[in-house]
Amino acid sequence: MSEGAIKLDAGALNAFLRSAFPETDPDHMPSVLEAEPGRVLLKLPYQTRQLRPGGVISGPTLMTLADTAAYALILAHIGEVAMAVTTSLNIHFLRGCQPGDLYAEGTMLKLGRRIATADVLMWTEGRERAAAKATVAYAIP
């Protein structure tokens, strides 16, 4: 779904996320690689601390990335609205997420005046072998 021109590109989104969350080490923060109408692509560099027993990337890591991707996607369209907040996050774990750089593609489902909803697909082994899919809703103040 295309939502018209974006207000923040990848560089502006990365700068905003780093300023909005200064306590987060930049090496542990996802980076927005692409931002275009209706879509963003993020990358979270792999670190062993992301693993859970069994040697796969943990659910909390995937949920955090899904939330960040949805936030970035929505802000790309509405601008620097720091107080846009998560109202719902539903995630489906499709397979064990193998160790490696983690990618998330967020696509806009609906951008309303007060609520925005996005789908987020996550993978390490290629988009066709997605490890998880989330639907995330945000309230827009």
**pLDDT tens, 47-106?**
989 999 999 999 999 999 999 999 999 999 999 999 999 999 999 999 999 999 999 999
pLDDT-derived band at 25 (thresholds 50, 70, 90) equals confident
Let me know if residue 4 belongs to a domain: no
User: Looking at residue 3, what is its pLDDT?
Assistant: 52
Measure the CA–CA gap between 106 and 38, rounded to whole angstroms.
Answer: 8
What's the predicted TM-score (pTM) here?
0.94
Let me know if residue 32 belongs to a domain: yes
DSSP 8-state secondary structure symbol assigned to residue 50: G
Measure the CA–CA gap between 10 and 72, rounded to whole angstroms.
Answer: 9
Let me know if residue 111 belongs to a domain: yes
Let me know if residue 3 belongs to a domain: no
Identify the CA nearest to 124 among candidates 38, 23, 55, 70: 55
The structural domain count of the chain equals 1
Identify the CA nearest to 89 among candidates 111, 112, 118: 118
- DSSP-derived 3-state class of residue 40: strand
Task: Check which CATH number belongs to the domain holding 107 and give it.
Answer: 3.10.129.10
Choose between 33 and 25: higher pLDDT: 33
The single residue listed with the structure tokens 């790309």 is 76
Let me know if residue 2 belongs to a domain: no
Domain, as residue range, for 124: 10-139
115-123/102-111 β-pairing: antiparallel
